[in-house]
Each structure stands twice: as structure tokens, then as C-alpha cells.
Chain A
Amino acid sequence: MKNALLGLATLALYLLHQDVWFWRSARPFLLGFLPVGLAYHALYCLLASLLMLLLVRHAWPAQLEREADTRDERHRRP
């Protein structure tokens, strides 16, 4: 369930990239100088970082590191 929700959140963020609603607008200017289309995508980067934090906290593939410690001697270089 948790992984499904994280997957949905990832898909939603991907779709939110296509912000046609700000396509032709320059105003308002965030902080007085950042056009809204640029400010939106700056915020998008912050949301992406937040999503990554959630993925790392709740879906980290810890088993991979355990498996990696089990070295496959047949294929290891000498």
C-alpha cells in the first residue's frame, strides 16, 4: 500500500511538470522578479526533493546492500 501511494505520488509529480496553466503568463513575479512559469518549476524541484526524501525513508531497498555483501566469487575479478 505504501509503495503504491509513493508510485502514485511519483506519477502525479511527473504529470504536474506539464503546467499548461502558466504557459502564457509572466505575472505574478515571485519575490518581485521571478516569472510565475519559472517560479513554478523552481518549486517543482523542491517537491521532487521532498518526494525523494519520502522514497528514501519508506521504500529504501536495503536488501540490495545485504545481497551485495554476499560476493559472487565466480565472477569477481582476481
Chain B
Amino acid sequence: MIPALIVFAYLGVVVYIGVFAFRHAHGRKEVEDYFLANRSLGPFVFLMSLFGTNMTAFSILGSSGHAFANGIVTFGLMASPAALVMPLMLFLVGTRVWALGKRHGFITPVQLFRDRWETSHVGTVIFAVQAVLLVPYVIIGVMGGGTTLAAVSGGRVPYWLGGALVAAVVMSYVFFGGMRGTAWVNTFQTTLFLVFGAVAVLVIGWGMGGFSASVAALAASPQAFLLTRERFSTLDFFSYTFIPLSSIAFPHITIFCLTAERMAHFKRTVIFYPLCLLAIWLPCTFLGVMANRAAADVPAVQAKLEARATLATQASTLSAEERAGLRAKASGDDVLVQLLNHYAPAWLAGLLAAGIMAAVMATDSQILALSTMFTEDVFAHYEGKARFGEAAQVMTGRAFVIGLTVVAYLIALRMPESIFAIAVQYAFTGYAALAPLLIGALFWRGSTKWGALASTLFVATGVLGIAAVNAYVPAPLPGQPTPVWSLAGQDVVVRTAGGLSVLGFMPVVPMVLVSSLLLVVVSLLTPRPSAATLARYFAD
């Protein structure tokens, strides 16, 4: 119970930082201060909180859980492509968003789209699609909180209570602190995780008798495939390089780009971002793989491996419900916490679990972003601010924070899928396919609102289609894909054990390509915005 108590103390510190230490709205422009910290973040806070914003439950729990089941491929799927694409997007797109935001006073990406393409309702459609796609991301944060607290307390804090506590803490400091509170909490949390993450690796490695011996034993076991990528498709691996495009299209990241005091603050962020990714993902992936050697020491890991073995050998004789139950038992989302609980002393396990909790609570930025979008793109845009004033706008944003958190929590209680699957299939794929909108708006004067609308509607339809097929076509056994749509004898869309496949690629590849194509083709066929508008966005 000691680790759980330390985590509770940590949650208290986080609330203190968010709620009390950074309430500086008095005397400032209320809206820009609450939603953008008055565009005043310095270089260190900008780097650490931007990175922390991206280090969610998915990064820590999802990555180690995925590595537990799939091996070292996890790092190459999500970390190394992001190490190139994410800072590149910040360099190319983030700096332009910052400059336009400062110049024109934008607070959300939809405001930029509305102004750039001289449209109101198309912007509303983009808002709706962005908001719906962001909700799963908020849900995984709550799920991560429930999973972590349940594991840290040895089951004494049930999943529903852990999720509720994390949701309440995040809601509190976002409600009171806004972007300033969120940024400082993220900075504190990221620093904590980077420091204690390094300690975790050393402690677990020492507890397991040294990594060299563990890796050699794994290499000599039937699970040696976890140290290679031999069971993973090269086309799927390539597909994952499209996923980090989502990073800049996520509204919480786009909005965060507006908080820097100077554009020069992007420099360090762009350079150090790949190193921060390395520092977080390498230990998580490695420890996730190594957890497979901890079965003899950690009963919870042994139970997972047994469930996995049963699935592998008897899946064809089991009902769909039994398979789903075994998949849930075999899920590795909590292996990192299980390793800490076993190999670290209680007080250190508590500190390290607090570090994990830090990443889990990165969901704060998504909640704030949704609140910002609602109040700016709907409330203020449709005259709410003009009628009721700026204070009412901020209060509306705060009310939205409460409503959204409660809804996310209720959904998290019923969500059966693993953290990784939800994040990748819906949020990441959808936002990667929305990235062409932002790139088109900033770099192509020929892009039009109709092109943007076509692209956005396609993304919404595509994500709904993926969700529908996943829901109605049962997941087949590994290695026995179910054809969903064939053309001239060629299987085009296939349901696999892990999701959907389109001509061997993950859905994100065709989604990004078709979304880009629609933006280009429809824009070429429709009239551009006025010359006056274009002149404000393109210097020559």
C-alpha cells in the first residue's frame, strides 16, 4: 500500500501546482491567459511541457504492454519515426502556426482554417471531426489512471476508483489553472518521469540479475522472436511512419505551438525532442520485452504468459467471449508497474509509479484543448462571447472541462480494448489523415474550403468505417485474416487479429493518401479565397 500512498501524495502535489501556484489570470486578458498562458512560455517549460503533452498513457503503459507481446518492434513502430517526423513538423508547421497565431490572434486551428479559407461552416465541420477524434485520447488517460492505481495498490484501489481519482485530479488543475497550470504540471511530471525512469531501468535490471543474462536467456528461449521483428510485416512497419503526422494535427499540439513566447523557443524543442523520445521509449520498450523473463518472479506476469499461451494453442476451440477474456488477461498494459512492484523497494516503487502517473495524466492537454476549441470555435464564434462577455466564455470552458471528463470516465469504465489499439486505430489514424489540411492551409495557396471539406468528410467516414468493420467483423485468429472486400480476386480490405489491413498496409496509409488527393483535386476544381486573404498568408 506504500506505493499507492506515495502516488496519492504525488497527486496532491500536482493539484497544488495546477490549482494554486499558477493562478495568474488576474489583470491579464482572461481568455488568452486561461487557454494559452498568455503566449508567454519560456524555452524550458515549452520543451518539457510540449514533450510531456505527447507522453501519455499510450507512451508509457501502451508501449511497454505492446513490447511485452510483440517485442522490440514497438520502438521502431512508434518512437523512431516520431523522432524524425514530429520535430520536422514542429520545424516546418509549428513555427508557421506560431507566427500566424501571434500575427492574427488565433487560439485554435479552426480559427486559422476559417480565416485562411474564408469560411464559417466548414470550420464547424472540422471542429466537430477534430473533437470526436480527440475524445478517445482523453479516455485512454482515464483508463491508464485506473490501470496504474489498481496495479500499484495491489488491487486495493479498484480500476473504477483509480480512474475516477485521476479524472478528478486532472479536471481540478485544468479547471483552475488552464494552460499555465497544465504547462507547469506537465513540466514537473516530465522531469519526474525522466529522472525516475532512468532509476527504474537500473533497479529492475539489477533485480532481474542483470540485463545481459536476461537477454541471453530470452534469445535461447522459444520467445527469442521478441528480440527481432521476424513476425511483423514490413508493410505494417512502413505504415507506422505515417502515424507521427498526427502529432502536429492534434489540436492540443497545434494549440500548444501558440504558447511559446518567442519563435526561437522552438529551436531547442526541435533538436531535443528526438532525444527525449529516446529517453522515454527505449527503457519502456526494453523493459516490456524483458518482462517476459520475469514470470518466475512475478505471478501477475506468469498469469499473462499463461493466458497468451492458451490463446496461441487453443484459440480455435474457444468461443469469442473466452478469447476476449484471455486477451484481456494477457494484456501487458500494467507490466511496467508489476515489475516495479516486485523489483523495487516500496518507497521507490511509489515514486516510480508516480512518474508513470505523470505520463498518464498528460491527458490534461487534450481536455484543455477540447475546452478551448468548444469555447472559441463554437461559443465565441456563434456570438456567445459578444452576448455574454469574456468571463462567461472562460466559465463555459471550465464547465466543458467538467462535462467532458465525466463522459470520458463513464466510457472508460466500459471500454474493453487495450490502450494501444484504441489510440492507434482511431485517434492517430484520423489525425494523421487530417494533417494534409494544416499543411495545405499553410503551404499551398491553391487550397480551398471545399477541398478541406472533402478531405475532412472523407476522414470522418474512413474512421467510422474502420470502427464499424472492427465492431461487426469478429477478430480472426492470428495468421487467419478475414477478407472484408475483394476486387478481381485480390483481397483489398482484410480484418486481421490486430485490426484492419488495406492491400497489406495499415489504414493510415490510404487514409492519408486519399485525404491529400481529395484536398488537391477538389481545391483545383473550386475557387480560391480572395487575393487579399492570400496576401496575408503568402508573402510573395
Residues of A whose CB lies within 8 Å of any CB of B are: 10, 13-14, 17-20, 22-27, 29, 32-35, 37-38, 41-42, 44-46, 48-49, 51-53, 55-56, 60-61, 63-65, 67-72, 75-77
User: Which of the residues A17, A27, A56 comes within 8 Å of B270, measured between beta carbons?
Assistant: A56
Q: Is the CB of B234 within 8 A of A23?
A: yes
**For the complex, is B241 an interface residue (Cβ under 8 Å from A)?**
yes
**For the complex, is B316 an interface residue (Cβ under 8 Å from A)?**
no
List, in ascending order, chain A residues with CB within 8 A of B308's CB.
none
List, in ascending order, chain A residues with CB within 8 A of B31's CB.
77
Q: Is the CB of B270 within 8 A of A55?
A: yes
**For the complex, is B8 an interface residue (Cβ under 8 Å from A)?**
no
User: Which of the residues A18, A65, A75 comes within 8 Å of B234, measured between beta carbons?
Assistant: A18
A61-B286 contact in complex given A33-B212, A49-B275, C-beta closer than 8 Å: no
Q: Is the CB of B95 within 8 A of A61?
A: yes
A41 and B234 CA atoms in complex are apart in Å by: 15
**For the complex, is B230 an interface residue (Cβ under 8 Å from A)?**
yes
Q: How far is the CB of A71 from chain B (nearest CB, A)?
A: 6
Q: Is the CB of A68 within 8 A of B270?
A: no
Q: Is the CB of A41 within 8 A of B536?
A: no
Majority secondary structure, A binding face:
helix
List, in ascending order, chain B residues with CB within 8 A of A13's CB.
84
Q: How far is the CB of A57 from chain B (nearest CB, A)?
A: 9
- A–B complex contacts, Cβ < 8 Å, 26 sampled: A10-B88, A17-B81, A23-B229, A29-B212, A33-B211, A33-B212, A35-B72, A35-B215, A35-B228, A37-B76, A38-B72, A41-B76, A48-B83, A48-B87, A49-B271, A55-B88, A56-B270, A64-B95, A64-B96, A64-B99, A65-B264, A67-B539, A68-B98, A75-B105, A76-B105, A77-B32
- In the complex, what residue of chain B is closest to A67 when comparing beta carbons? B99
Q: Is the CB of A44 within 8 A of B275?
A: no
Q: How far is the CB of A48 from chain B (nearest CB, A)?
A: 4
Q: Is the CB of B275 within 8 A of A45?
A: yes
Residues of B whose CB lies within 8 Å of any CB of A are: 31-32, 72-73, 75-76, 79-81, 83-84, 87-88, 91, 95-96, 98-100, 102-105, 107, 115, 211-212, 214-216, 219, 224, 227-230, 234, 237-238, 241, 262-264, 267, 270-275, 277-278, 282, 285-286, 536, 539
List, in ascending order, chain B residues with CB within 8 A of A23's CB.
228-230, 234
Q: How far is the CB of A46 from chain B (nearest CB, A)?
A: 7
List, in ascending order, chain A residues with CB within 8 A of B237's CB.
18
Q: How far is the CB of A50 from chain B (nearest CB, A)?
A: 9
Q: Total A-B residue pairs with C-beta atoms closer than 8 Å? A: 145
User: Which of the residues A19, A55, A72 comes within 8 Å of B103, measured between beta carbons?
Assistant: A72
Q: Is the CB of B274 within 8 A of A33?
A: no
Q: Is the CB of B274 within 8 A of A48?
A: yes
Closest 5 CB pairs of A and B: A26-B227, A33-B211, A68-B99, A76-B105, A64-B99
List, in ascending order, chain B residues with CB within 8 A of A10's CB.
84, 88
Q: Is the CB of B277 within 8 A of A45?
A: yes
List, in ascending order, chain B residues with CB within 8 A of A44's CB.
80, 83-84
List, in ascending order, chain A residues with CB within 8 A of B80's CB.
17, 41, 44-45, 48
Of A19, A33, A52, A55, most buried by chain B (CB within 10 Å of CB) is A52
A35 and B241 CA atoms in complex are apart in Å by: 21
Q: Is the CB of A45 within 8 A of B211?
A: no
Q: Is the CB of B81 within 8 A of A45?
A: no
- In the complex, what residue of chain A is closest to B270 when comparing beta carbons? A52
Q: Is the CB of A60 within 8 A of B72?
A: no
Q: Is the CB of A56 within 8 A of B271?
A: yes
Q: How far is the CB of B46 from chain A (nearest CB, A)?
A: 15
Q: Is the CB of B241 within 8 A of A14?
A: yes
User: Which of the residues B215, B273, B536 comes within 8 Å of A29, measured between beta carbons?
Assistant: B215
Q: Is the CB of B286 within 8 A of A49?
A: no
A65 and B228 CA atoms in complex are apart in Å by: 46
A49 and B171 CA atoms in complex are apart in Å by: 35
List, in ascending order, chain A residues with CB within 8 A of B216's CB.
29
Q: Is the CB of B84 within 8 A of A17?
A: yes
A29 and B219 CA atoms in complex are apart in Å by: 10
User: Which of the residues B75, B83, B103 comes within 8 Å of A49, measured between beta carbons?
Assistant: B83
A22 and B73 CA atoms in complex are apart in Å by: 11
Q: Is the CB of A45 within 8 A of B103?
A: no
Q: Is the CB of B104 within 8 A of A76?
A: yes
A56 and B88 CA atoms in complex are apart in Å by: 10
A69 and B264 CA atoms in complex are apart in Å by: 13
Q: Is the CB of B267 within 8 A of A51?
A: no
A48 and B82 CA atoms in complex are apart in Å by: 10
